[in-house]
Each structure stands twice: as structure tokens, then as C-alpha cells.
Structure 1
Amino acid sequence: YRLYARNKKVHPLMFKDMRMVVAGAEKLQSEVRELFKARFNKEIYEGYGATETTPVASTNFPDILIPDDFHEQIGTKVGSVGLPLPGTSFKIVDPDSYEELAVGEDGMILIGGTQIMKGYKKAPEKTAEVIKEIDGELWYVTGDKGHIDEDGFLFIVDRYSRFAKLSGEMVSLGMVESHIAGVLEENSALSVTAIEDGKKGEALVLLLEGEMELEELKKRVKELKINPLYKPSKYHKVEQIPRLGSGKVDLKALKSFAKSLNS
């Protein structure tokens, strides 16, 4: 969506008959949402799911007016991935005990419903790691950390694997990327990972690809009024950030690449 919004060859009239725009796979950055809205006058509704849930589990949707009593049904909350689809349920649990947590409390996101996969082909041990039976129902363990609000909207914080422990504090790498993305120039992309550090336990490493100069990015990050822990200590300009065939960042390869750059 960033490319559509910034490409001068894409005219707003090309999207005039489009009824709804939905984003998934990665967290929707607020700057992309706002840019798309300003350029095409279209909202982007963020959704969520996984291949193991075939694949959509929730989405935001336009607000509607209920004709019976003319009250507004809220379908969107910015920052959330929406409400579960019919037949789908979410549960937030403690990642160790799997005890259900209270409304608004962050924990492991579980997805339940008839669309949950039976298992990975010829991989029973791997299946047992992500499919849990709780009170007679099967749940898919997403590996994502988040919470459900009082209206049932799901908010994702980050992947449990995407946290770094810096000076004893847990820092979300996704949150770091979100802060820095706001000062990124066009035709550039970044990813942040963490590597071992003798002083702080772990250190944040930022990889930058595209047209933006590394020193300019460092300068802008330095000026950001954010928690100093959210500012990477190491920066590298790379030809390409490691990605999977789906286009998502290959997090395992990213960490290995960062280690090799700092060895």
C-alpha cells in the first residue's frame, strides 16, 4: 500500500470503484494508512490470521447503522486487527501456564474455530507444539503477544520471538521499527533485530535498504523523542533485507545476517 500511495503513476480514479481495502500479513503502519487515505480517500482495514487458520481469523470493517434502533455498530478501532470472523474465537493466555488472562491484559494469542488446521503433514511433534486442547476445544498457538479489549477487538503487541532484553527491560522490536519508520525516506525500508551484547545482554541492530543515506537516518533517529532503549546501537546499510518468498522479512536470516555484519 505504501508503493501505491507514493507512486505518482497511480491515479486516485483507478480506485474509485473499490469498495473495501484490507491489509494483513504485517502490521499496518499508521503513516501508510494516513497516506493511502489522503491520496485515494479509502480506509485500509487491518486484519489478522495465519496459514494454520486458513488463513483469516479477524478483520476490521466499516461502521454500520443497525436499522432496528438506529445505533451505530463500531466495526473499526485503529491499531487493532478487528473482531473475530463468525465461527472464530480468540483467547489470551499466560504463555507458560495457558491460564486465561483478563480483558486488556497482554498474553499469548490463541485462535479457535472450525477452520483450525488438523496438523502439519508428517510432523506430529511440531503439531503438538502449536495445537493445544483446552477444555475439550482445540486452539492454535500463534506465538503472538496481544490483548482483547472490552469490545472484543484484538490488539497485537508483537511476536514473542520479537522481543529483546535490554538492560533487564523487554523491548518490542516491532515497536522500535514503528517509531523509526516515521522518519524513513521514500523508496527505503528497514528491519531491526537483536544480537548478544556483553554489556546490555542484547543490542539492537538496524538494517537499512534503499535510497536513504545511513547517516541521515542515524541523525533523525537521534532526534526522536522516544525511550533511549528504542534507539538501535548498530546500523548497517545493506543491498537487501532478507525476505521469504511471501515478501515478509525472514527473521531468522535477519538475525544471522546482523550477527555476520557485527562479527
Structure 2
Amino acid sequence: MSQEAGSSRAHFKFWPTHVPTEIAPPETSLWYNLEVSAHRYAEKAAVRYFGNAMTFREIAAQATALAGWLQKKAGVKKGDRVLLYMQNCPQFIVSYYAILRADAVVVPVNPMNRSEEFKHYVTDAQARVAICTADLAVGVEQAVSELASAERLQHLLVTQYADALPPTHEHPEDAPPAWLTTPHPLPVGATAWVEALGAGLQPGPHTAGPDDMAVMPYTSGTTGFPKGCIHTHRSVMHNAVGGGTWSGSGAESVILSVLPLFHVTGMQYGMNGPIYSGATVVMLPRWDREVAGRLISRYQVTHWTNISTMVIDFMASPNLAQFDLSSLRYIGGGGAAMPQAVAERLKTRFGLCYVEGYGLTETMAPTHINPIENSKLQCLGIPIFNTDARVIDPDTLEDLPPNVVGEIIIAGPQVFMGYWHNPDETRRAFINIDGKMFFRTGDLAKVDDDGYFFLMDRLKRMINASGYKVWPAEIENLLYKHPAVAEACVIGSSDSYRGESVKAIIVLRADARGRISSQEIIEWAKNNMAAYKYPRIVEFVEALPKSSTGKVLWRKLQEDEDARCEARGAEATDS
């Protein structure tokens, strides 16, 4: 067992019987995974995308040709960072593995980023080559034009989404939306995707090994500018292999890939894991519950990793009864806790247990996951293979006993090497305990007597109401029990008497809008929560702001509230 003194071992009695307690991932590069699958399953569909099926052989052949272009036309050398900027599409996978084949480093960029944000990735990663879709090329061109000449991209490869779409569709109702088929002009000097592939250039020998840099995803940037997380082939490989091992995914599996591939969870479960195992990916560029339901039914999807907001939306579809979900063997995800009521409906109606997990960009997806046979709701789960996770006092750095809230720290093969060109942040992110380096997550959790981890909140996301500590995630989970609440986010609101009061920002269910008041929610909460916990303020909104990966942007809501409170205070002073 990899867990050592100081970490809980109680969870091993709940370990799935069919899963080993440790894994030994291959000591090879990620590219080799595609090469192996292209030999083993040459004519098997690797990706299904709006009626188009690309085989493993085709994916590998295109990635090899593109690697040749990167090296011989774009001058990409080993260790160079190459930006990858697009929505989910087969070209993302081809580009990702082409960059790896060229011994370079993939820098995935959120396609929702605007030109001003994109500039940071160019300059911080010191990238000279980018691959993007044509709809984003204008923003890239604008960003590059505003940079000093020494910082600018030297090569831009552009693909149209239609480059991977079939000319006709067997099922007309699944024809791609117009935004995928609309052509966009290429910037002056950019190279077209079909031109790069058509050149048929062969790359040099592949030399990257397990400890070379492979992928550098950026953190969300909730504090300051986004930071690049250095991941090697080894750290990415661990969870690419481990995810399938835990969920029972293999070459016979069919994976619904709808989480964005630029994000580590989508990257691992919707691309790297299936390529390693030889599974087929059914891909969607954006979430659409009706299309997802039809795809699960038609292709007999077996595994679906998502975020809870997708499942909440899916379960609300008026066509839910028409979808055949009998093939699903595994459904789960992270990012936000699954409301108990939704999980219970999923179990009652379809016999599916929602498997929650936990991970970060710095850990290339999961460090914790629930055992399928012994899942606990609204729980991060237990530490996965070869992972030592503990809860410590964030001030004294001492290990804490069960059921006491502290900071999660993690040591394991999936942990990143540090922040790109940011030694100070890297130093602050790690702590040495008994000669082992642990990553400080900044997340507050407690471990129960069974060794399961429960997230309480971010280290800095705590409300101090009259000296009582209130954890917003706990209040949100309680609010979900109200039949009128569809979504909720809890923040602190300045209070001259109590210091802070709890404020709930709520999206009501459609049938409750106009029929229930904020005061009724407050009274319900008062009757269901401790006196210091219940929200004193309730605000109804049409929708909560979310990131591209579906996480509620609570910091934005908190900042907006702080600004309003400050303005009110200024007005009171002036009067």
C-alpha cells in the first residue's frame, strides 16, 4: 500500500473488489498509447462525431502527418510549447497527439477566452505556434497583433470544424448546428489544416520519455493571472490509465465525451483514457441534453463522465422517457456536488449510482473517487491508486483526526511538477512531510471514520457570522432539499451587527417561479438549519454565472456583493 503513516487507511475496507489497490502505468510516452491502439484496433472507430467515424488508424496517421508539419514547417523542437485552442472536435485529438509526437508540449486554451486573455498564454508559455479553429482565428490574429514582435506567434494552423464533418447524415435530426458548418476566413499567413495534412511530411524519431513535459494546462486564474501547470507524460499517464481501471472501461466501452477537452477531466476521460484502452468516443462539441440522450441510445454508450449540472439538466428533459439508458454502466464526475434529490431520482429511475470524484488541474484530474459499490453522496470519495491524501491544520500543518475540517494535501504520481516559470508560487504550493512532497490544494475537507473525504469549501471561502464559521457548500446542499430550488450559490454579505450574514442566490424551478417568495425560502431554511447558518438574504436570479466547465463562479458573485455593500456604506457615510 502506498499510503504511509499519518494518512488514513480506513478506506481500504471499502475498496472495490475488482480493482487493484495500486497500478503500474506504462513507462512510455502518451503518444505510444495511440500508436499501440492504432496497431491493435486499426479499423475500429476511435471517434464518432455527427455521423463521421474516424478510426484509430486515421487518427494516428493524421497526427503523424501533422507532427511532420510542426517539425519541418513550423520549426517545433522538443519541449516547445504549442497552443491548442478549439472546441471539442476530432481535430483537437489529432492536434494534441501530433504535438506529443513532435516531442513538444500541449498548452490547451479555453475556447471561451477572448483575445486579451489569449495574449497571456502566448507570452507566458512563450509559444511560437498555435493550432486553432477558424472561428477563433480572428481573436488570435488580434491578440498577436497587439504583442511586441519578439513575443508573437510565428505559425498559426487553422482548421474549419467542417474538416471533420461528413457530407451527409444518416440521421437528419443529428445534423450539426450551423455554427459548426459555417466557414470562416483564414488570417493572412495562416496555414490551412488540409494543407498541412496534405503535405505528407514525416516527423523525426519520437524521443519523449515519461519524465519529459507533455501537457501544460492553466489554472482557472481565480487569483491573479492563470498559471501553467507542468505535467509530464508520467503524471498524465497515471490518471489516463487509472480512470479506466476504476470504472471498468476497456476496448469494448463507448464513452460519451462532452466535457471540454481543454479541461483536465474531459482530457483524461474523454480522450487520453479511451485512446489508451481502445474505447470508442462519442463526442459532442457543446452540451445539448437532447442530442446527448439520442447518442447514448443509438451508440449504446457505457460510460459518461460529466458534471452534476449536466445530469440535473438531462433529468429535466421532457423527452427523458424516450431515451434508452440501459447500456450505461458508469456515470459520475466532479466539479460540483451532486444534489441528493437528483442522485436519488437517477438511482430510482435508471438504477444508476452517480460516482463523485475530486481532482484539480494540478493533479491532472482525480486524486479521489467513490467506489461504485460503496458510494457516498456529496462526497469526494477515497484516495485513488498510489495516492497519499491527508487533512492538515492549514496553520500548524499538523495532521488532523477524523471529522475535523482542515486543508487537503496530496502526494501521488499524478501531481504536477510545479507552476511554469513561477518558483515562488511553486514553493508555496508544496509542503515537505517526512521527506515526501505534498501539494497544498487550498480546499477544506474532513475525513469521516471510513476514510471518505468530504469537501467543506475553499480555504478562503468561509463566512464568519457572529463568530460562527459557516461553510457555504453545506448550506447549498441543504437548500437543494427545498422542492422549489433548482440551483443555489451561497456567499457572505456584510452585516454591521453580525460581521457577515449568509446570502443565498437561487435559481427557482420553472414551476415555482412567481409562486414562492424569498421570505418563504428564508423561513424554510430557518426551520431546517442551525440559527447561525440559515440565509438572512435570498435573491432570485434567472441563472448563475458558470465557467466553461460548468462550475459556479461563486467568486464573481461574492465580488459583486462586496462591491454593492461597499457602495451602500459609502452612501450612508455621505448622508
TM-score when scaled to structure 2? 0.41
Q: Does 1:196 pair with 2:494? A: yes
CA distance in structure 2 between the aligned counterparts of 1:39 and 1:7, rounded to whole angstroms: 14
Q: Paired residue for 1:219, among 520, 530, 533?
A: 520
> Contact 1:194–1:205 (CA<8 Å) still a contact in 2?
yes
| Aligned-residue offset at 1:243 | 2.3
Q: Pick the structure with more helix per residue.
A: 2
Shift of 1:240: 3.7
Tell me the residue number matched to 1:99.
398
Q: Does residue 145 in structure 1 map to residue 444 in structure 2? A: yes
**Greater shift in the superposed pair: 192-201 or 102-111:** 102-111
Residue equivalent to 2:328: 18
Match of 1:90 in 2: 389
- How many Å apart are 1:231 and its aligned residue? 2.2
Q: Distance in 2 between matches of 1:148 and 1:256?
A: 30
Tell me the equivalent position of 1:206: 504
* 1:241 aligned residue (518, 524, 544): 544
Shift of 1:223: 2.7
Deviation at 1:77, TM superposition (A): 3.3
The answer to whether the 8 A contact 2:522-2:537 is kept is no
Query: Secondary structure of the equivalent of 1:15?
Result: coil
Distance 1:127 1:195, change over 3 A: farther
Cross-structure match for 1:35:
345
Question: How many Å separate the matches in 2 of 1:77 and 1:233?
Answer: 30
Contact 2:502–2:536 (8 Å) recurs in 1: yes
C-alpha contact (below 8 Å) 2:489/2:554 kept by paired residues: no
Q: Which whole-Å CA distance do the structure 1 matches of 2:452 and 2:503 have between them?
A: 32
Cα distance in structure 2, aligned partners of 1:145 and 1:192? 16
SS of the equivalent of 2:490 reads strand
**Number of aligned residue pairs:** 251
Provide the rounded CA distance (Å) in 1 between the counterparts of 2:312 and 2:327: 20
In structure 1, distance between residues paired with 2:356 and 2:506: 25
Q: Which residue does 1:51 correspond to in 2?
A: 361
Q: What does residue 109 of structure 1 align with?
A: 408
Check whether the contact 1:162–1:174 (CA below 8 A) recurs between aligned residues: no
- Residue aligning to 1:62: 372
Output the CA distance in 2 between the equivalents of 1:34 and 1:241: 24
Structure 1 residue 94 displacement after superposition: 0.9
Q: Which moved more, 1:135-144 or 1:153-162?
A: 153-162
Distance 2:377 2:548 in 1: 29
Residue 92 of structure 1 deviates from its aligned partner by 1.2
Q: Secondary structure at the match of 2:502?
A: strand
RMSD of aligned alpha carbons? 2.2
What code does the residue aligned with 1:6 have?
A: A
Would you say the 8 A contact 1:92–1:107 is kept in 2? yes
8 Å contact 1:162–1:173 — kept in the other structure? Answer: yes
Partners of 1:123 and 1:95 lie apart in 2 by 22
Scaled by the length of structure 1, the TM-score of the pair is 0.86
Compared with structure 1, are the counterparts of its residues 79 and 240 closer, same or farther at alpha carbon in structure 2 (3 Å cutoff)? Answer: closer
Structure 2: gaps (5+ residues): 1-310, 569-575
- 1:251 aligns with 554
**Counterparts of 1:177 and 1:9 in 2: how far apart (Å)?**
28
How far apart, CA to CA, are the structure 2 residues paired with 1:197 and 1:149? 34
Where has structure 1 moved over 4 Å in runs of 4 or more?
none
User: Larger % of strand: which?
Assistant: 1
Contact 1:12–1:40 (8 Å) recurs in 2: no
**1:46-92 alpha-carbon deviations (Å, 9 max, x no partner):** 111111111111111233xxxxxxxxxxx333443222111111111
Q: Which residue of 1 aligns with 2:478?
A: 179
Structure 2 distance, partners of 1:180, 1:46, is 19
Question: What is the Cα deviation at residue 140 of structure 1?
Answer: 1.4
Q: Distance in 2 between matches of 1:86 and 1:28?
A: 23
Residues 237 and 93 (structure 1 numbering): CA distance in 2 closer, same or farther, change over 3 Å? same
Letter in 1 for 2:484: E
Cα contact 1:79–1:155 (8 A) shared by 2: yes
Which letter maps to 2:469? M
User: Larger C-alpha radius of gyration, 1 or 2?
Assistant: 2
Structure 1 residue 125: Cα displacement: 1.9
Q: Any conservation in 1 of the 2:475–2:533 contact (CA below 8 Å)? A: yes
| 1:179 alignment partner, SS class | helix
Question: Cα distance, 1:28 vs. partner?
Answer: 1.8
Structure 1, unpaired ranges of 5+: 64-74
Identify if the C-alpha distance between structure 1 residues 240 and 139 changes in structure 2 by more than 3 Å, giving closer, same or farther.
Answer: same
Corresponding position of 1:155: 454
Q: Which residue identity lines up with residue 174 of structure 1 in the other structure?
A: A
The residue type paired with residue 155 of structure 1 is F
Q: Is the CA contact 1:2–1:36 (under 8 Å) kept in the aligned structure 2? A: no
